[in-house]
């Protein structure tokens, strides 16, 4: 029996089953929030209160755990290509579920009350960050993006935009919602709630609804009658299936990867230290979390639909330009976050660049390099982004400890996007270059 037809046949649906896959991708991405920075950031001050460790120490543990998870993600990408998105999402949901249980009892595993030790605390914190970052920010987010990328070609941009309509609100409101749960049920209770939701709910949805490829279900991408990957349109034609090694040799891979990684580095650093940063700026904790709700989601959502629609029609490097420019606006405006104008520009910059990020991170890899090794290529990109997100908080923390302000770190970060604009000029689709070489 074809396992893709159990417990039902996707081909029997009255509409293209790829749209169900979009829903699964959204759920996978939203389920990754406890492992994303806005999720971890909600627990940071509670973890600081649990032990007598400094903010620098917890930032160091976060960095080491996240960097270690980034080294594992390329292997997770290879496993994704072998196991498929369905199996990988079930495994990842259970992995993050168990990680949240570990986090909820993190101070009890070694009986710290009777034997306090900063070293033991650091080891447990590092392991906890490694687990939640690998299974959450890494594997679940990776599955969500790859799943959508495998089921669409010419409509990949609009499918990504449809997914972004939900993930934009979920991500920008995630920190606010988790903060609410912590205040209502304590941080330990919130970990247990998240664990049950992931282990019982998300894993079942993945097993029941998710499928790896349309071809395995007797379908074609976009719901077409024939395979739409071999088309005359140079924007969507797939003439070569690049391996991860081949993709890593192209300038386009690094131009997009570094721009997406920079987004993660900056947003992760700001989110991780959001409470402390808001205090420096003279902003309350609630006002700090309100940065992500409700204005930024609307900007991100609007941008996602615009970029999703455009990505099906124009070269992706033009969207890369605007992603870098809007990110630069957000970073610069953070220096004046306590003013109405600075707040508005920051919300717009981060919202718009986040909308670009959500589109590009899903669309660019299958468009440029094909689907055969999509998990491995996306896993390498994810590894780079996670590595960047790991060094962001410790970078900001160290600068703050020496200068007693986050402003210097923010100002230094605003310089980096300008450098990426230079190399992004050459970030063309490798498929087009391959076509040109074949014609020659």
Closest C-alpha to 89, from 26, 42, 149: 26
Query: For residues 363 and 146, what is the distance between their CA atoms, to the nearest angstrom?
Result: 9
| Position 224 in a domain | no
| Position 353 in a domain | yes
More confident residue, 275 or 245: 245
| Position 229 in a domain | no
Instruction: Check whether 404 has a pLDDT greater than 70.
Output: yes
Query: For residues 146 and 139, what is the distance between their CA atoms, to the nearest angstrom?
Result: 10
List Cβ neighbours of 217 (8 Å cut-off, separation of 6 or more): 4, 5, 9, 10, 11, 17, 211
Q: Which helix (H) or strand (E) holds 255?
A: helix 251-272
| Position 2 in a domain | no
Closest C-alpha to 93, from 59, 55, 60, 139: 139
| Position 370 in a domain | yes
For residue 307 the two structure tokens come to 């970029």
Mean pLDDT for all residues in the chain: 88
Q: Inter-axis angle of helices 118-132 and 85-104, to 10 degrees?
A: 150
Write out pLDDT tens, residues 317-342: 999 999 999 999 999 998 888 888 98
For residue 190 the two structure tokens come to 């919130």
| Position 225 in a domain | no
List Cβ neighbours of 155 (8 Å cut-off, separation of 6 or more): 222, 312
pLDDT value at position 269?
Answer: 86
Expressed as residue numbers, the domain containing 41 is 16-215+236-439
| Position 7 in a domain | no
For residue 159 the two structure tokens come to 């499918």
**DSSP class of 317:** H
Write out pLDDT tens, residues 228-262: 665 567 778 888 999 999 999 999 999 999 999 99
Instruction: Check whether 1 has a pLDDT greater than 60.
Output: no
CATH number of the structural domain spanning residue 196: 1.20.1250.20
DSSP string, 47-58: HHHHTT--HHHH
Residue 404 region, left (φ>0) first, then alpha (ψ -120 to 50), else beta?
left
> What is residue 277's three-state secondary structure?
helix
The answer to whether the bond into 195 is cis (omega within 30° of 0) is: no
More confident residue, 59 or 177: 177
Closest C-alpha to 267, from 241, 300, 236: 300
**For range 177-185, the mean pLDDT:** 89
Instruction: Check whether 289 has a pLDDT greater than 80.
Output: no
With pLDDT > 70 as the criterion, what percentage of the chain qualifies?
92
Closest C-alpha to 414, from 329, 343, 344: 329
Query: For residues 320 and 322, what is the distance between their CA atoms, to the nearest angstrom?
Result: 6
List Cβ neighbours of 108 (8 Å cut-off, separation of 6 or more): none
Write out pLDDT tens, residues 6-58: 999 999 999 999 999 999 999 999 999 999 877 887 888 888 877 667 777 88
Write out pLDDT tens, residues 194-215: 999 999 999 999 999 999 999 9
List Cβ neighbours of 169 (8 Å cut-off, separation of 6 or more): 297, 301
The answer to whether the bond into 22 is cis (omega within 30° of 0) is: no
More confident residue, 174 or 223: 223
Instruction: Check whether 114 has a pLDDT greater than 50.
Output: no
**DSSP class of 243:** -
Instruction: Check whether 164 has a pLDDT greater than 50.
Output: yes
As for how many domains the chain has, the answer is 1
pLDDT value at position 434?
Answer: 64
List Cβ neighbours of 26 (8 Å cut-off, separation of 6 or more): 144, 163, 166, 167, 170
Q: How many Å separate Cα 291 from the centre of its chain?
A: 19
pLDDT value at position 113?
Answer: 42
| Position 3 in a domain | no
- pTM equals 0.88
Query: For residues 137 and 6, what is the distance between their CA atoms, to the nearest angstrom?
Result: 29
């Amino acid at each position: 029996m074809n396992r893709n037809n159990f417990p039902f046949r996707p081909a029997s649906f009255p509409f293209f089953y790829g749209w169900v896959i979009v829903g699964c991708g959204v759920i996978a991405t939203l389920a990754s929030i406890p492992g994303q920075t806005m999720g971890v950031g909600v627990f940071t001050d509670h973890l600081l209160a649990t032990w007598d460790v400094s903010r620098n120490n917890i930032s160091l543990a976060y960095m080491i755990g996240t960097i270690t998870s980034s080294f594992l993600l390329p292997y997770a990408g290879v496993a994704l290509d072998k196991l498929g998105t369905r199996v990988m999402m079930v495994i990842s949901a259970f992995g993050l579920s168990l990680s949240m249980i570990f986090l909820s009892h993190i101070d009890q595993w070694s009986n710290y009350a009777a034997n306090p030790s900063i070293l033991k605390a650091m080891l447990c914190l590092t392991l906890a960050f490694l687990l939640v970052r690998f299974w959450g920010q890494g594997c679940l987010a990776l599955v969500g993006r790859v799943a959508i990328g495998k089921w669409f070609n010419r409509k990949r941009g609009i499918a990504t935009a449809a997914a972004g309509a939900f993930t934009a609100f979920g991500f920008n409101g995630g920190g606010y919602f988790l903060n609410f749960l912590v205040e209502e049920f304590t941080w330990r209770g919130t970990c247990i709630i998240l664990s049950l939701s992931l282990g019982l709910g998300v894993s079942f949805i993945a097993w029941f609804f998710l499928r790896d490829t349309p071809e395995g279900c007797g379908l074609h991408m976009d719901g077409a009658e024939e395979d739409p990957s071999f088309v005359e349109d140079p924007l969507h034609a797939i003439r070569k299936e690049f391996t991860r090694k081949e993709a890593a040799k192209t300038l386009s891979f690094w131009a997009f990867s570094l721009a997406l990684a920079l987004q993660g580095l900056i947003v992760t650093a700001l989110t991780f230290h959001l409470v402390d940063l808001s205090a420096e700026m003279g902003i309350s904790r609630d006002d700090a979390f309100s940065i992500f709700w409700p204005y930024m989601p609307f900007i991100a959502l609007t941008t996602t639909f615009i970029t999703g629609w455009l990505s099906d029609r124009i070269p992706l490097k033009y969207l890369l330009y605007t992603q870098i420019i809007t990110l630069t606006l957000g970073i610069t405006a953070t220096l004046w976050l306590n003013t109405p104008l600075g707040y508005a520009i920051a919300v717009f910059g981060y919202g718009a660049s986040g909308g670009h990020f959500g589109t590009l991170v899903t669309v660019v890899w299958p468009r440029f390099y094909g689907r055969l090794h999509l998990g491995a290529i996306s896993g390498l990109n994810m590894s780079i982004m996670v590595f960047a997100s790991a060094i962001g908080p410790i970078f900001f923390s160290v600068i703050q400890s020496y200068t007693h302000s986050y402003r210097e770190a923010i100002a230094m970060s605003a310089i980096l996007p300008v450098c990426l604009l230079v190399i992004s000029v050459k970030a063309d689709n490798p498929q087009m270059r391959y076509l040109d070489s074949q014609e020659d």
